[in-house]
Structure formats: structure tokens, C-alpha cells
Amino acid sequence: MLPQRGAATLYRVDHSGPSWRGTALTRRSVLLGLGAVGAFLTVDLGLVAYTSRAGTLTRRSFLAAFADVFGVHPGFRKNHAKGISVIGYFSSNGAGATLSRATVFAPGQTPVSGRFSLAGGNPAVADTPNAARGLGLAFGLPGADQWRTAMLNLPVFLDNSPQGFYDRLLASKIDDATGKPDPQVMADFLAQYPQTEAAMELIKKAPVTMGFADSTYSSLNTFHLVGPDGERLPVRWSFIPHQRALPAQSGGPNALFDALIKQLKTAPLHWVLRLTIGDPSDPIDPTLPWPTDRRTVDAGILTLTEAQTDRAGNARDVNFDPLVLPDGIEPSDDPLLSARSAVYAGSYRERTTEPNSTPPVQVEGVNP
């Protein structure tokens, strides 16, 4: 229990001036105490404030920019908001196992939870052929050897730095008066980021396919495979489609998604996982393609069997964080990987604490 000592000293005040339980409080001792407390609190609370100081590009900057450009859509991903979930499996042929010790590359099957999406933060945006298509995959969810990857149907990425992505996001904001980004703002942005302009040229040259089912989805960022002997090799991966896409039939706002759902209701869809092994001298800058003669290894086939409306428990609830990697795959020093991981975590926190809304694409409403 509590010590009751000190009561005797309480009344023994043998000095003039303030005191505390018999101890004289001198000006010096009070100032010393308060000064030390002030110094400690300044350092302690100052450090907390320092971590979210203004003027730096934080994950909050990105989330604020998405809200500014696309509006506030509670419960949805802050980017790639529009999408559908899929399930299936990956059949490894074992060819990747000599390059990476990840269990996903050993011969056999791994369950896959995935999500097709369109780039942008508006969950109700109308499908357009030129909007970037995304495919997020989580291999072996929710196991210990998980591999998550979020890919795009582009040959290269548009930015090679978090600041570049941020500036492009703001520069591409639609002007309500014209329905297009402000051309002067975009021109100023491109003048500052020649690498993005060059990447846009490469993307323009790559033909856009009919739909989700016949798109090639690529990591764009560079990673490293770590082999059974510990050898590290630079890698970029792609999922190459095995089928044509059903043409978008309706001219409706979900034409591309509807065609994908229709096709998935008829038959499973297949992609080949192609690992492109880089030379150590190849760039990790994702706006730069690698030479076309690099060695490739086809590691297996992704089979997607079922489309699902985004809902609790399916890929809606997966954060396709590019740094969730199994032993045997490691990130490169590309700063976009860390930034993506950080901002995705912020988006995941926001949307999991917001009320959920009904996703615009409803799988049940599409007939096979």
C-alpha cells in the first residue's frame, strides 16, 4: 500500500517562504526544475512534431493530393478506386526456382487473390480505353511467404521519383471549365520532368489492347531475385495474356469491366509470368526500359477463375503493398517502392476507418 511517511515533516516548516512537505522551494530550485521540464518537453514533443513537419513530402501530402484531384470517396482506395476482385491460382513450372528461393517458384500451385482496376481515385469514373489498367496480385494470402504486387498495363512508369509522381498528379487535375488538365500547367510540368515526357512517348507507341483480359501487366519497378545459393539478380516481371479480350459491348460506364466479368463467367483466364533478368548495369529507373535482348524466364501460369464484386474479405481488403515480398524476392533501391509502400499504408488506414460504400461495378449484374 501507499507509504504514509512524511506526515511528521509536513508541519516542520523552519524557514520562511514557500515549501513542499518540509522542503524549501527556492527560486533557484524552482527555475532549475521547470527549466529541465521545459527542455525535456521541447525535445520530446518537438521530435513528435518534427516527424510530421510541414514543407516535406509526406504520405499525407499524397493523400491530400488524391482527394484534391479526384474528390473524397469514403471507403475506397485513394488510387485505383474503381475495380473488381478476382480469385485463382498460380501454377509454377519450377523454372524460376533456380533464380529465386521464393516458395512461389517451386513447382506447384499457390492460391492468388487479385484485383483489376483503373488508375485514378474516382470509383465511379467511366471506363476509357486509355486509362491505365492495373492488376494487383496477392500470392499465398494471408500466409508467411506472401508476395504482393501491383502492376500496370504500361511498358514503363511515368515517374522516377515520388516528387515527380506528386507533381504529375497535381498537374493532371481536370479543369472543370474545359474537362481537361490545364495545358499550360502540364507543359510546365513536362518541361521540368523530361524523363516523364520520354516515358509518355514510349507509352504512346505501345498499342493499347482491347480490354483487361488481353493486357500485359508489368511490375515496372525493379526488384531482385535471390537464388538458393544467395545470388542476387535484378528482375522486372510481367504477366503476358494467353487470350484475346471480349470486345467491350456496351458503351456504358463499366464497359471494360463488364467485358472482363462476362469473359470470366464463361472460362478461366490465363497469363504467363515472365521474369526478365537484368544486367547489373541496367537502370532501376522505372521510366527507362531495359534492352530488349535481356534473358527471360517463364516461371508459370496465372489462372484467374472467378470475378467478385469488391467486398469484405476479398481483394478489396488487400493493400497491394509492393514491399510485401517473400524470402527470395527483394526490393531494389528505386525510391518509388518505399513511397508506394508508405502511401498505400496511408490509403489503407483511411479507407478501413471510413464507412464503406457500394462499389459501382457489380459482378452479379453482368450476364455471361
Give yes or no for a contact between 19 and 13, defined as CB atoms under 8 angstroms apart. Answer: yes
Q: How many CB atoms sit inside 10 A of residue 347's CB?
A: 21
> Cα 126 to chain center, whole Å?
22
Residues of span 132-161 touching other proteins by CB under 8 A: 138, 141-146
- Grouping H, G, I as helix, E, B as strand and the rest as coil, residue 332 is coil
Q: Is 268 in the site for other proteins (CB under 8 A)?
A: no
- Compute the least distance from the CB of residue 286 to other proteins, in Å: 16
Give yes or no for a contact between 332 and 152, defined as CB atoms under 8 angstroms apart. Answer: no
- Residue in 15, 80, 224, 270 annotated catalytic: 80
**Which of residues 93 and 338 has its CB atom nearest to other proteins in the complex?**
338
**Which of residues 134 and 162 has its CB atom nearest to other proteins in the complex?**
162
User: 74-98 in b/e burial notation, b at 16+ Cβ within 10 A?
Assistant: ebbbbbbbbbbbbbbbbbbbeebbe
Number of residues that bind other proteins (CB under 8 A): 64
Residues of span 60-79 touching other proteins by CB under 8 A: 60, 62
Q: What is the CA radius of gyration of the chain?
A: 27
**Which of residues 3 and 280 has its CB atom nearest to other proteins in the complex?**
3
**Which of residues 60 and 204 has its CB atom nearest to other proteins in the complex?**
60
Question: Could you say which of 318, 329, 361, 363 contacts other proteins (CB under 8 A)?
Answer: 318
Secondary structure (DSSP) of 213-277: TT--EE--S-EEEE-TT--EEEEEEEEEESSPPPPP---STTHHHHHHHHHHHHS-EEEEEEEEE
**Which of residues 191 and 312 has its CB atom nearest to other proteins in the complex?**
312
Q: Tell me the residue type at 114.
A: G
Residues of span 322-351 touching other proteins by CB under 8 A: 323-324, 327, 331, 335, 337-339, 341-343, 345-346, 348-349
- Compute the least distance from the CB of residue 104 to other proteins, in Å: 13
Q: Is 36 in the site for other proteins (CB under 8 A)?
A: yes
Residues of span 202-261 touching other proteins by CB under 8 A: none
Q: Is 54 in the site for other proteins (CB under 8 A)?
A: no
**Which of residues 289 and 331 has its CB atom nearest to other proteins in the complex?**
331
- What is the Cβ-side half-sphere exposure of residue 123, based on CA atoms within 13 angstroms? 21
Q: In 3-state terms, the chain is what percent helix, strand and coil (to 5)?
A: 30, 25, 45
Beta strands in the chain (DSSP E): 19-20, 23-24, 82-92, 108-118, 133-139, 147-152, 174-175, 180-181, 217-218, 223-226, 232-241, 269-277, 296-308, 329-331
Question: Could you say which of 319, 320, 328, 329 contacts other proteins (CB under 8 A)?
Answer: 319
**Segment contacting other proteins (CB under 8 A): 46-54, 85-93, 121-129, 205-213?**
46-54
In Å, what is the CA distance from 130 to each residue of 118, 139, 196? 10, 28, 17
**Structural element, H or E, at residue 348:** helix 335-353
Q: Scanning the structure block, which residue is given the C-alpha cell 462476362?
A: 262
80 is catalytic: yes
Question: Could you say which of 9, 250, 305, 358 contacts other proteins (CB under 8 A)?
Answer: 9
Q: Is 309 in the site for other proteins (CB under 8 A)?
A: no
Question: Could you say which of 15, 46, 56, 231 contacts other proteins (CB under 8 A)?
Answer: 56
**Structural element, H or E, at residue 187:** helix 183-192
- Compute the least distance from the CB of residue 240 to other proteins, in Å: 27
Q: Is 112 in the site for other proteins (CB under 8 A)?
A: no
Give the C-alpha separation, 195 to 311, whole Å.
38
Q: Which residues bind other proteins (CB under 8 A)?
A: 2-6, 9-10, 20-23, 25, 29-30, 32-34, 36-37, 40-41, 44-45, 47-48, 51-52, 56-60, 62, 138, 141-146, 162, 312-313, 316-319, 323-324, 327, 331, 335, 337-339, 341-343, 345-346, 348-349, 352-353
Residues tagged active-site: 80
